[in-house]
A and B are shown apart, each in its own frame.
Chain A
Amino acid sequence: MSSLAACGGTEAGTSRIERRFAALKAEGRGGLVTFVTAGDPDAETSYEILRGLPAAGADVIELGMPFSDPMADGPAIQASSLRALKAGFSLSKTLDLVSRFRQDDNDTPVILMGYYNPIYSMGVEAFLARAREAGVDGLIIVDLPPEEDEELCGPALDAGLHWVRLATPTTDDARLPAVLARASGFVYYVSVMGITGTKSAETGDIEAAVQRLKRHTDLPVAVGFGIKTPEQAGSVAGVADAAVVGSALVRRVEANLDADGRAKAGLAQDVLSLVGDLADGVRA
């Protein structure tokens, strides 16, 4: 049960996330965090993408838990959620997908990202037990701010999962300590006010924001929202510990669907080739 132990502890250097960011630091580069939605556009294609991500150059994997009403996401990610749900995906299948991924990969951190209701519906305890067993490393739950920490943040930390907190341009210095108090693994900086996959921030603004966060925390800072190209990923990875790309990848999924919404041959390869380009970007 080495995977259990590995995803557990939050002592320095003991978890996959911590090891990965330590390795990136040693390499002297920023990382690439990729987001795809579990089950999009179907179970097998989704597995094919997920399995191929580490080799394509993803350093950390964010896996979206499909939800019918993703309020903080833009049209691209909402559409990917709805495709997955239409294909019969669920939270339970998302956890199974992680287990399957872990059979071949015990090193790449996997963070589940999504909204609280499917987890609440499954039951917090049952979810956390299954997530640990599947080899999940951390959680990003968009609609659970620090004000609602007792719901899932506390229990997840107790269960040995990382709780990756979102910080935004609206999180001012007065509020930042509360936001960072229980953050672990890394901090996800939302670089623009808005939803996923729309506006992009200026590199200078991002750098200033990352510096501000670093004054308050020793955790690595990953920056996301609006990063679409290898060049953007590269410049963000130059000023932060990692760049997060999501909407651009699920748009690539969408571009490879036939008229009936089914995956065309080569979908996974095409998505992974974009990941490869992005990975080159952060290594440039």
Chain B
Amino acid sequence: MSQPLNTYRSGPDERGHFGIFGGRFVAETLMPLILDVEKAYEAARADPVFGAELDNYAKHYVGRPSPLYFAERLTEELGGAKIYFKRDELNHTGSHKINNCLGQILLAKRMGKTRIIAETGAGQHGVAVATVCARFNLPCVVYMGATDIERQQPNVFRMKLLGAEVKPVTSGTGTLKDAMNDALRDWVANVESTFYIIGTVAGPHPYPAMVRDFQSVIGHEVRWQMEEAEGRLPDSLIACIGGGSNAMGMFHDFLDDTSVRIIGVEAAGHGIETGEHAASLNGGRPGVLHGNRTYLLQTDDGQIIDAYSISAGLDYPGIGPEHAWLRDSGRVEYVSVTDQEALEAFKLCTRTEGIIPALEPSHALAHVTKLAPDLPADHLMVMNLCGRGDKDVFAVARHLGVEL
């Protein structure tokens, strides 16, 4: 068989670029450290011992592989495509975030780092980081916007139970982007001892590629699980996108399978036209923030605008650079879904499948409900159910006007 002339899976280049996106836009203080992380990651990647260790924890600690589940009642309800859920919400800690945290903490230990820092928005990544820090006995500091701490008390308590120190971020606007700023500030001041576990496929090279690689287990599993279930490739893949790590993890394996339609779903909040949304690709333009060039929500003057979504896990004003490149290259479609549509999908999934999804994948599900009815019954659609909704029941109650 001849090699395809073009591949979507070879990025990034040695400087961390996906087309014009990505790169290493960091202060000089961090640059030597970024290069260290890159070198250590390249070595770990090539080391079968590292891979075996990661696989072992993925299996026995996280519970991988996660099931590929035929959502029969939802399929009947929508009356079109055959819908599968990739059930990463069944992972330990309740979302896909643990896949990446496990990989990064093993790398941190390999590098001899003695302290872990992280940023978190909704707290899912923070909980996953606090979890692996407890498991591997490393001190952990999680930066979290003061506003998010208010909104996500259960996750804050969970992180504290796990032994993490949760530092409220009041600088800037006190949200996820500011939490990332403060984590970077901490890192600059503690470069010798500290490893920064970034939660999504963003940040300076090698993070976007590294986080993608650790999340790619999702897509690898979908491939063999679908082969087992249906004897062929899926026809479409759908995943929600904030920074985009669950989506990248599911998409990457299939980028060169041109028969597979791939769709990323951004959070349109109150609607892109209102300006209150988190849809960087559909409502932003290219810029440079947090170490990489990507699509950003920003003013005409290049000032970063706060993102908004009902889902705290999606309200980041940027997106992973590989997504930016996949959008411009046309390989992946990026659409958006409003708060209201996500809420409807949340209710539908709960009632028809007995699964309470997180508000993040509820966005992906909302798009499934738009597409599936018009597709034939032999169309195989996979949605990444990347998080469970227990953390969201209070927020949903509030939005539905229910007093708990």
Chain A residues at the B interface, C-beta cutoff of 8 Å: 66-72, 74-75, 78, 82, 85, 90-92, 115-122, 142-148, 165-172, 175, 179, 190, 193-195, 198-199
Contacts and interface: CB of A to CB of B under 8 A. Distances in A.
Interface string B320-344: 0000000000000000000000000
Contacts of B184: 71-72
Contact of A78 (B24, B172, B293): B172
B9 interface: no
A148 B23 contact: yes
B47 interface: no
A72 B300 contact: no
A71 B29 contact: no
Please classify the interface of chain B as helix (H, G, I), strand (E, B), loop, or mixed, using the class held by over half of its residues.
mixed
Interface stretch (B126-134, B282-290, B382-390): B282-290
Given A85-B303, A117-B304, 9 more contacts: A69-B290, A117-B289, A117-B296, A118-B303, A120-B286, A143-B291, A147-B24, A165-B28, A166-B27
A119 B32 contact: no
B301 interface: yes
A199 B188 CA distance: 12
Contacts, number: 120
Contacts of A90: 301
B219 to A, nearest CB: 30
B32 A175 contact: yes
Interface residues of B, number: 37
A195 B28 contact: no
Give the secondary structure class of A's interface. Answer: loop
Interface in B165-218: 171-172, 177-178, 181, 184-185, 188-191
A115 to B, nearest CB: 8
Interface string B254-295: 000000000000000000000000000000001111110100
Given A117-B302, A194-B188, A71 B27 contact: yes
A15 B181 CA distance: 36
Contacts of A92: 301
A91 B302 contact: yes
A167 B302 contact: no
A40 to B, nearest CB: 15
23 contacts: A69-B172, A69-B177, A85-B303, A90-B301, A115-B288, A116-B288, A117-B296, A117-B302, A117-B304, A120-B302, A121-B287, A144-B25, A147-B23, A165-B28, A166-B28, A169-B29, A170-B191, A190-B29, A193-B29, A193-B189, A194-B29, A194-B189, A195-B185
Nearest to B173: A68
* A-B CB proximity, top 7 nearest: A121-B302, A194-B189, A118-B302, A72-B27, A90-B301, A68-B303, A168-B29
Interface string B1-39: 000000000000001000000011111111111000000
A146 B31 CA distance: 9
Contacts of A78: 171-172
Contacts of A71: 27, 181, 184-185, 290
B68 to A, nearest CB: 39
Contact of B304 (A68, A179, A195): A68
Contact of B27 (A68, A82, A142, A198): A142
A150 B301 CA distance: 22
Contacts of B28: 145, 165-168, 170-171, 179, 190
A11 to B, nearest CB: 27
